[in-house]
Amino acid sequence: MFQTDAHMVNTRMSLLFQLYLANQARPEEKAELLAMLADPEHEEEARELLGEAWNEFVPSKKIFTPATSNQILRNIMESSQTPVVSIGRSWNIKRAFTVAAAVFILISSGIWWLLTPATLPERKLVVANTITPHVKVADAVPGGNKAMLTLADGTQITLDDMSNGKIASQSGISITKAADGQLIYTSSGSNHEERHLAESQINTISTPKGGQYQINLPDGSKVWLNAASTLKFPAIFSGNERRVELNGEAYFEIRPLLNKEGRQPFKVVTREGGKNQEVEVLGTHFNINAYGNEKFMKTTLLEGSVKVTNLNISDSDILRPGQQAILKGNQMKIASVDLDEVMAWKHGNFRFNNLSLVDIMKQLERWYDVEVDYAHLPETRYQGFISKNVTLSQVLDMLELTGSLKFRITEMADGKGKRIEINRANTNTNINVKPN
């Protein structure tokens, strides 16, 4: 009997949910759905339903405009009749699911935001009656596939402007831009002299702020570059090892190769702000975050095995899948991490796990091509999951809805950029944003 009832609840909730997403639900059906989502007894079913909706979400199919989505969210949150709720021991389960119920409405705008009770014990959730709509006279669009390829002879190719097909060749190496935008290096069976020359020719691919790109290296390995990142590599790998240099962030899927000495190792060297390391692999999947404005250099292993060496003191550690090497100066520690959080950028999302506003702004700065003044940012932390396909104002809307800060994007007085004003109580903080 219990199984039958549970199945009926699931079926009814799923039906109402689909009707709502199709904008076909009657008022009484909307009310019934919200009641189900707000009922703690249906927590497991609600989470499963919302999770499936997110996995199947197609950003181009919008049900509501961003403004409408935000207004509906405010209305739902206001319906709890609780002006301010502490997130922590006093977290109210019904309140949590009122917020969760509002989440699916925002799926239509490409945003997913779900607070959890265990993350921010000192934070306050400010609901609709304390939030006033703000006027934005400017905005910043999300980034996309943008990169510059610089050949060994200095020739620069703007990849986002190039048509698909062969775009260059050097020393018997053909460089092709594929239909999905990725860059592919292919050897044409060149002779020994050409291969030796190609090995000494260093190419550089760089993504700007607001850019990302995927490249297939000459050995068949795949690299995904995050925004504001640079990768240097030879036109061909023919020595005893394969070596590249990285600044910024990249995810690597390394192809195992054999040479006369056996397996040919692949090495990634990163040097930023006194943090110097080398990652050596044979064939594996891993992510490196090595931005100059970050305190730590982080290497995360997803599959296989890697050796991470702190070049400052020649100290090495071996990582296992799910582990991360965290380097700062002469100190390196190994920790277990949430792989979904580390890889969110590659899958087109922002994932904030009790993340400070400073660290969030660094991500927004790189993806939306904005410049931020970090001098007076408050010590505020957030928990959330947001699509990178939304505009900057939509991200700021969500940060505002889940905290005590207010954001406003305006033109700067000289007309040469934009400004995000952050207000908290009687404190004003200005974040300067340069034009896209």
Distance CA 302, CA 23 (A): 40
| 249 and 381 belong to one structural domain | no
| 281 and 198 belong to one structural domain | yes
Output the domain CATH number for residue 385.
3.55.50.30
Comparing 103-112, 213-222, 413-422, which segment has the lowest mean pLDDT? 103-112
Among 66, 98, 113, residue at a domain's last position:
113
From start to end of 171-296, where are the E strands? 173-177, 183-187, 202-206, 211-216, 222-225, 230-234, 242-253, 258-259, 262-263, 266-272, 275-281, 285-290
Q: How many CB atoms lie within 10 A of CB 119?
A: 17
Q: Is residue 224 part of a domain?
A: yes
> Does the pLDDT value for residue 245 go beyond 50?
yes
| 202 and 300 belong to one structural domain | yes
| 306 and 334 belong to one structural domain | yes
What is the reported pTM?
Answer: 0.71
Among 297, 324, 341, residue at a domain's last position:
341
Q: Is residue 128 part of a domain?
A: no
Q: Is residue 130 part of a domain?
A: no
| 218 and 332 belong to one structural domain | yes
> What digits encode the pLDDT tens for the residues 120-138?
333 322 222 222 333 344 7
Q: 397: domain range? A: 348-433
| 7 and 81 belong to one structural domain | yes
> What digits encode the pLDDT tens for the residues 394-436?
888 878 766 677 877 777 667 666 777 777 644 444 455 544 4
CA atoms within 13 A on the CB side of 44: 5
106 falls in which pLDDT band (50, 70, 90)? Answer: very low
| 180 and 271 belong to one structural domain | yes
> Does the pLDDT value for residue 370 go beyond 60?
yes
Q: Which has more confidence, 96 or 337?
A: 337
| 175 and 224 belong to one structural domain | yes
pLDDT of residue 134: 37
> Does the pLDDT value for residue 387 go beyond 50?
yes
Q: Is 29 helix (H, G, I), strand (E, B) or coil?
A: helix
pLDDT of residue 191: 58
Burial group, residue 134, by CB count within 10 angstroms (0-12, 13-18, 19+): middle
DSSP, res 254? P
263 falls in which pLDDT band (50, 70, 90)? Answer: confident
Q: Is residue 304 part of a domain?
A: yes
Distance CA 100, CA 36 (A): 11
Q: Is residue 205 part of a domain?
A: yes
| 416 and 370 belong to one structural domain | yes
Q: Is 318 helix (H, G, I), strand (E, B) or coil?
A: strand
> Does the pLDDT value for residue 384 go beyond 60?
yes
